[in-house]
Amino acid sequence: MTLRIGTRRSALATTQSGHIAAALTERLGVETVLVEITTDGDRSQAAGTSLVGAPSTGVFVSALRDALLAGEVDVAVHSLKDLPTYPTEGITLAAVPPREDPRDVVVARDGLTLGELPPGSKVGTGSPRRVAQIEALGLGVELHGLRGNVDTRIGRVREGVLDAVVLARAGLARLDRLEDVTEVLDPLQVLPAPGQGALAVECRSGDAATLAAVAVLDDPATRAAIHAERTVMAVLEGGCAAPIGALADLAEGEDGPELWLRAVVLTPDGGLSVRRSASAPLGDDPAGWPAAGTALGEALAAEMLADGAAELMATPDSTSHPSARSAEVHNA
């Protein structure tokens, strides 16, 4: 049995898919081969095309799913935060492996932290979520739109074009680039994107043999956390371009495992926000944890809507930063 694993062509994507391939070989003894596929997001990124005004949700996903449905690959590997929150007919999320550290990080000149950068410093990010939360910190830095792979983004700092860039720690960890990090951002300051740090392994819904094989990689704790986070985003009707952050953590409570969930929705300029947190018991059976995560996400999102979250997301963009109106770019 040889499993064909569909992956984007970027260094980060092929590294992530390589980890999945190695895990499947180790756990099942099967042969694997990576099949590189170019997505719409890759093409627009290579061309330097802005995603402003374009459908952002799923731009890095659809081509892989098309290849999967066409039988060109048996498995597709994505950064989970790239996935739309709605289901796709014929596609099943077969496994969510254990998650990398989901926090955001800063790569800055001279080893500086975000708070140490002088007012007026140029900070690059392609994420409206990061823009809004950094603006809310009131540091006086200038936020600049940024696309490209990890090397391209960090290169902007090395070249002196930017003073710092903000990336996902997970991507740098998988590329063995953590030595470039000058600060790991506390989620109390900047909550990550829903699903950040996790991988999604998808299969055709009718391919029972592959679904059963790939299921050995699934981690119930990670799946419960991402169900909670992505349910918040889905209920708030926020796509990838919405300034929404969410993070769920598994903790041991007095009566067993619990899931703690924090979420925030902001206006694009970070001037107003609704921030809530909640927890719920998971029970003793890990098979039921994802459903518990979904229920927790629904409850927290309902509280946020009651607090005015929908009105915040409908607020016209009052910033001049291009990145506040572009899609969250998921290379890092």
Residue 206, judged by CB atoms within 10 A of its CB (0-12, 13-18, 19+), counts as: exposed
- What tens digit of pLDDT does each residue of 265-282 get? 999 999 999 999 999 999
Q: What is the mean pLDDT of the chain?
A: 89
| Percent residues over pLDDT 70 in the chain | 87
Give the per-residue pLDDT at 87: 87
Q: Residue 235 contacts by C-beta under 8 Å, 6 or more apart in sequence?
A: 297, 298, 301, 302, 305
Q: In the block, which residue shows the tokens 């014929």?
A: 90
Give the per-residue pLDDT at 237: 79
Q: Which of 40, 66, 74, 82 is catalytic?
A: 82
Half-sphere exposure of 8 toward its Cβ, with a 13 Å CA cutoff?
A: 23
| Percent residues over pLDDT 90 in the chain | 80
CA dihedral (188, 192, 198, 204) positive or negative: positive
Confidence band, pLDDT 50/70/90 cuts, at residue 25: very high
Our answer to whether residue 284 is catalytic in this structure is no
The more confidently predicted of residues 56 and 282 is: 282
Are the CB atoms for 202 and 76 separated by under 8 Å?
A: yes
Give the per-residue pLDDT at 283: 92
- What tens digit of pLDDT does each residue of 137-185 get? 999 999 999 989 999 999 999 999 999 999 999 999 999 999 999 999 9
Does the pLDDT at position 313 exceed 90? no
Confidence band, pLDDT 50/70/90 cuts, at residue 39: low
Q: Residue 314 contacts by C-beta under 8 Å, 6 or more apart in sequence?
A: none
